[in-house]
């Protein structure tokens, strides 16, 4: 078991990077570039300040659990935005899966990103 005072490394998967780009483009198109940049910065800030010291701060994602992916947690960033991630205790890593708007269909998003068939 990992000592509670140890920090976890946060690693963004290629899928997370892609989902962040798509998310940013969505916000820019719907609102403005300024809103998109502020929202992305808020997401990065929450990830960097909360997850390394407390990787289990978020509950297991029911959305992914229902699809058979049982190891992922869902961090609510604000009213509509969330980050899905997995904790690797052995390697002391937090693996970021994707960022999304909570009103999106997780099944559709994963299908679009070629994770579900």
b/e map 11-36, b = 16+ CB within 10 Å: ebeebbeebbebbbeebbeeeeeeeb
Tokens 């289990």, located at residue: 56
- Stated pTM of the model: 0.84
Split at pLDDT 50, 70, 90, the class of 69 is confident
Q: Each residue of 19-32: pLDDT tens digit?
A: 999 899 989 999 99
pLDDT reading at 82 higher than 90? yes
């Amino acid at each position: 078991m990992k000592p509670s005072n140890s920090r976890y490394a946060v690693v963004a998967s290629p899928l997370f990077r892609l989902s962040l780009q798509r998310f940013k483009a969505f916000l820019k198109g719907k609102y403005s570039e300024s809103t998109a940049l502020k929202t992305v910065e808020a997401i990065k800030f929450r990830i960097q300040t909360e997850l390394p010291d407390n990787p289990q701060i978020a509950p297991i994602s029911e959305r992914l659990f229902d699809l058979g992916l049982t190891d992922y947690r869902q961090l609510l960033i604000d009213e509509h935005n969330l980050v899905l991630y997995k904790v690797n205790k052995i390697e002391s890593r937090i693996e970021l899966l994707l960022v999304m708007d909570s009103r999106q269909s997780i099944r559709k998003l994963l299908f679009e990103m070629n994770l579900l068939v």
